[in-house]
Amino acid sequence: MSTKILGVTKKFGSTTAISSIEAEMKEGEFIAILGPSGCGKTTLLRLLAGFESPSEGHIEMNNEQVASPTHLTPPDKRNIGMVFQSFALWPHLTVKEQVRFPLQHHKFVPKELKADKEARIKEVLEMVNLCGYEDRMPHELSGGQKQRVALARAIAAKPTLLLMDEPLSSLDAELRLEMRNEIQKIHRLTQTTVIYVTHDQGEALAMADRIIVMKDGAIEQIGKPETVYRFPQTEFVASFVGKANLVHGFWKNGEFHPNGSEMVAWDKKDISPYFMKKNIMPVRPEELSLSKKGNGISGYVENVQFQGKDLHYTVQVGEEKWTIHSPADEFFHPGDQVIISLTEKRWSAYQGGQKLIFS
């Protein structure tokens, strides 16, 4: 379902939860709303679901107005499915009954699904790999299985919009990775528009077609994962998505000189005009490497964490602390003086000889 959010502000008393939000979601897109706690993600999702009405602005779905300060189409009159962090399964219904419920009560169930509900239940339970669990009660399921039931229930009636609020937050790390794949698979199979709220940049980068990055109730940047990662438009996006170091310096003859290291010049072609103007270069931890000597910027190792393939260093560079992920073939210790240089990865925005398209 195509969705437009037009100048939407939501206030709760004197708190402005979100402010002047403008965004458009195309039919079939997977959109992640990404931001830290309290930035307004859930409020935006609740507005899209129809649980709240905007204080200003309006929302359109398939070119029809569904919410404004004076009008609200309630959730049951929107063709949506929802998945929550807490699973929200009914404790007294079996897996099969949970999935049957929307097929009986949803107002938009396509005729063919209504005619053969049992076939649809079987189909969606297959999609989420839960065949054989039809007669289990929620308390007989693991966390991951509960979330699969919640997913199956949300897609059973073929909603045109699927809203997910931190659906993987209560699962352990390994299961979260597995469920990312499941959700991607379901999106591919159903082609439903998905709006997925998360504070986990990894989830947003891995699954979304486009990411809306929010901070303090406003949108900081909207773009494809590669664009948001490679070309952050603000300091917040640079550090929240991919944990970039914000290296301060100055530009001379098209080259960037980090402060206090006038002899070091970093070439940088694709930097956003915003950072050019502010004399900041966002540099990812994996774009920097450490050595004992050579050309580069001098710093002191403050801390090191072994991470298998990489070592994660915190390095004091003048007044700044940088995070550097360096290959584990050379080990430095806290207190060591090191030379920092830009790695080749900086220039690896190419794939198969073709420059990636960023927009």
Please give the residue ranges that form the binding site for ligand ATP (CB under 6 A): 12, 15, 17, 35, 37-43, 199
Output 152 or 214, the one with its CB closest to ligand ATP: 214
Output 61 or 197, the one with its CB closest to ligand ATP: 197
| Planar angle of CA 310, 315, 321, nearest 5 degrees | 120
How many residues are listed for the chain in this entry?
Answer: 359
Closest approach, Cβ 206 to ligand ATP, in A, equals 19
Output 97 or 200, the one with its CB closest to ligand ATP: 200
Output 169 or 343, the one with its CB closest to ligand ATP: 169
Output 78 or 199, the one with its CB closest to ligand ATP: 199
Distance of CA 326 to the CA centre of its chain: 25
Distance of CA 334 to the CA centre of its chain: 34
Output 52 or 182, the one with its CB closest to ligand ATP: 52
Task: Say if strands 161-165 and 193-198 run parallel, antiparallel, or are unpaired.
Answer: parallel
Sheet holding 15-25, edge to edge: 15-25, 3-12, 56-61, 64-68, 71-72
**How far apart are the C-alpha atoms of 335 and 255, rounded to whole Å?**
30
CA atoms within 13 A on the CB side of 188: 9
312: amino acid identity, one letter: H
**How far apart are the C-alpha atoms of 273 and 276, rounded to whole Å?**
5
**6: DSSP letter:** E
Residue 173 has which token pair? 């790390």
Helix/strand/coil percentages in the chain, nearest 5: 30, 35, 35
Closest approach, Cβ 152 to ligand ATP, in A, equals 24
Output 36 or 327, the one with its CB closest to ligand ATP: 36
Closest approach, Cβ 88 to ligand ATP, in A, equals 15
User: Exposed (0-12), middle (13-18) or buried (19+): which is 6, by Cβ within 10 Å?
Assistant: middle
**How far apart are the C-alpha atoms of 203 and 176, rounded to whole Å?**
9
Segment holding 96, helix H or strand E: helix 95-105
Tell me which residue of 115, 98, 96 sits closest to 154, measured CA to CA. 98
Output 55 or 259, the one with its CB closest to ligand ATP: 55
Closest approach, Cβ 46 to ligand ATP, in A, equals 8
Output 41 or 224, the one with its CB closest to ligand ATP: 41
Tell me which residue of 197, 149, 141, 207 sits closest to 177, measured CA to CA. 207
Segment holding 279, helix H or strand E: none
Closest approach, Cβ 43 to ligand ATP, in A, equals 3
Closest approach, Cβ 167 to ligand ATP, in A, equals 13
Closest approach, Cβ 23 to ligand ATP, in A, equals 15
Output 10 or 187, the one with its CB closest to ligand ATP: 10
Closest approach, Cβ 13 to ligand ATP, in A, equals 6
**How far apart are the C-alpha atoms of 194 and 188, rounded to whole Å?**
11
Q: Which residues pair with 315 in a beta bridge?
A: 301, 322
Closest approach, Cβ 57 to ligand ATP, in A, equals 16
Closest approach, Cβ 12 to ligand ATP, in A, equals 3
